[in-house]
Structure 1
Amino acid sequence: MRALPAELTARALELAAPGRRLLGITGAPGAGKSTLAERLVDALDGRAVLVPMDGFHLARTELDRLGRAHRKGAPDTFDAAGYAALLARLRAPAPGVTVYAPAFDRALEEAIAGSVPVPPDIPLVITEGNYLLHDEGPWAAVRPLLDEVWFLELDAGVRTRRLVDRHVRYGKGRERAERWVRESDDVNARLVARGRDRADRVVPMA
């Protein structure tokens, strides 16, 4: 990713005014959501914290029980209602109370509870994930809880190469990684694209 666009930093700074606001960053798998979110948090220097949607992945044992492990990353492989409940709690921080959010460990392929502290005086919570604009089932409760949502767009070929390389880096063989992108990530990407027009801002990614 190139230099962080000045207009994105400026807008994030505006959102980080006193009070509490939630900024969502969404887009297809591999579009650069985590990278952009992390860089914004760094740029805001203590005025923002990142809470990833991926912290609400169902555990592998539960996915196995439900018969969904082969399509991990689909909307019904997350605790969407739990994610919405956390966002609602983050919107209205209680004085003196730090909220702890889960994170996702890619090396373990599991969510880790209590990983991300969100103190009540942090003005901006940035959350990123695939389904922030998804409007089916419990996901429909997410968008109204966010003050603004940015949709990231990246060339499909570049995005696919990134995804394959990421899966290989975290332990999949290249052939398996390519099959996973084709049969899972790309299917999810088409679903994510349906929410594009509901975003407040579309961000082209280099």
Structure 2
Amino acid sequence: MQKLQDLAAQILADSLGRSRYTVAIAGPPASGKSTLTQELAGLIAPHTSVAVVAMDGFHFDNNILCQRNRLQYKGAPDTFDVTGFRLLLERLMHQATEIAVPVFDRVLDVSRACAQIISPSDHVVLIEGNYLLVQIPPWDIPKEYFDLSVFLGPPIDVLEERLVDRWLKHDHTQAEAVERAHRNDLPNARYVLDHSRVADIVL
């Protein structure tokens, strides 16, 4: 918790005098990105306006993934609208206007367009996702798109345990949970660990 408090204090100090300050929070699936991002936002919110943007809002629709025979690999690097996501990052950098962003609905398993508004007054924007620091096209997002980058990289055996447990909680059998984790989640995790640039802060 102290590390998180220190990170919040650093962001607040570094963002002084800036119209907007963007933070990339990256790491493999099940690394704890979403939890950390929400907790960090909670620490920042009493001091300045903060918004959270999740890369998952840019999932291709299931119909598109079916057409491309990629539905069972949803979450892999090629199952996102990377171009649209990069355009959003550019707008966050340069536009002091309202910006509508999509949000992934985990209950419906779809991305909902324009489901969130980033206000011009949102001083700090926390951007969370697996592939934010990956250096392989089309995910090779320029470093200057983020004022600060944070990476979570638990050991692969820890990720495997968490990923299998995640599927067990979705009513999969042990065998089904292991198969799903090994088919898609763990390859994606290794991809992130192997191909992400060094972040400013590693937790």
Distance 1:42 1:173, change over 3 A: same
Q: Secondary structure at the residue paired with 2:37? A: helix
Aligned partners of 1:197 and 1:67: how far apart in 2?
A: 30
Question: Is 2:42 aligned against 1:42?
Answer: yes
User: Does the CA-based 8 Å contact 2:133-2:141 persist in structure 1?
Assistant: no
Structure 1 unaligned residues grouped into runs of 5+: none
Q: Secondary structure at the residue paired with 1:159? A: helix
- After superposition, where does 1:5-20 map in structure 2 within 5 Å? 5-17=4-16, 18-20=18-20
Partner of 1:55 in structure 2? 57
Q: Secondary structure at the residue paired with 2:139? A: helix
**Structure 2 residue identity aligned to 1:14:** A
**Structure 2 residue identity aligned to 1:10:** A
Question: How far does residue 35 in structure 1 lie from its aligned partner after superposition?
Answer: 0.5
Distance 1:15 1:66, change over 3 A: farther
Aligned partners of 1:3 and 1:172: how far apart in 2?
A: 36
User: Does the CA-based 8 Å contact 1:57-1:79 persist in structure 2?
Assistant: yes
Question: How far does residue 196 in structure 1 lie from its aligned partner after superposition?
Answer: 4.3
RMSD (Å) for aligned C-alpha atoms: 1.9
User: Does the CA-based 8 Å contact 2:133-2:197 persist in structure 1?
Assistant: no
Distance 1:70 1:119, change over 3 A: same
Partner of 2:162 in structure 1? 162
Partner of 1:128 in structure 2? 128
User: Does the CA-based 8 Å contact 1:16-1:48 persist in structure 2?
Assistant: no
Distance 1:197 1:81, change over 3 A: closer
Question: How far does residue 123 in structure 1 lie from its aligned partner after superposition?
Answer: 1.1
Q: Which runs of 4+ in 1 moved over 4 A?
A: none
Q: Deviations over 1:88-140 (max 9, x none)?
A: 1111233xx32111111222222111122110011111101110111222212
Aligned partners of 2:171 and 2:105: how far apart in 1?
A: 13
Question: How far does residue 86 in structure 1 lie from its aligned partner after superposition?
Answer: 0.5
Q: Give the TM-score taking structure 1 as reference length.
A: 0.88
Q: Deviations over 1:146-185 (max 9, x none)?
A: 1221110223333222222323334544432221111111
Aligned partners of 1:57 and 1:79: how far apart in 2?
A: 6
Partner of 1:89 in structure 2? 91
Q: Deviations over 1:15-36 (max 9, x none)?
A: 4434112100111110000011
Structure 2 unaligned residues grouped into runs of 5+: none
Question: How far does residue 3 in structure 1 lie from its aligned partner after superposition?
Answer: 6.2
Partner of 1:146 in structure 2? 146
Distance 1:98 1:196, change over 3 A: same
Aligned partners of 2:197 and 2:138: how far apart in 1?
A: 20
Aligned partners of 1:3 and 1:111: how far apart in 2?
A: 34
Aligned partners of 2:171 and 2:15: how far apart in 1?
A: 38
Q: Secondary structure at the residue paired with 1:5? A: helix
Partner of 1:75 in structure 2? 77
Q: Give the TM-score taking structure 2 as reference length.
A: 0.89
**Structure 1 residue identity aligned to 2:69:** G
Partner of 2:199 in structure 1? 199
Q: Secondary structure at the residue paired with 1:138? A: coil
Sequence identity, in percent?
34
User: Does the CA-based 8 Å contact 1:132-1:142 persist in structure 2?
Assistant: no
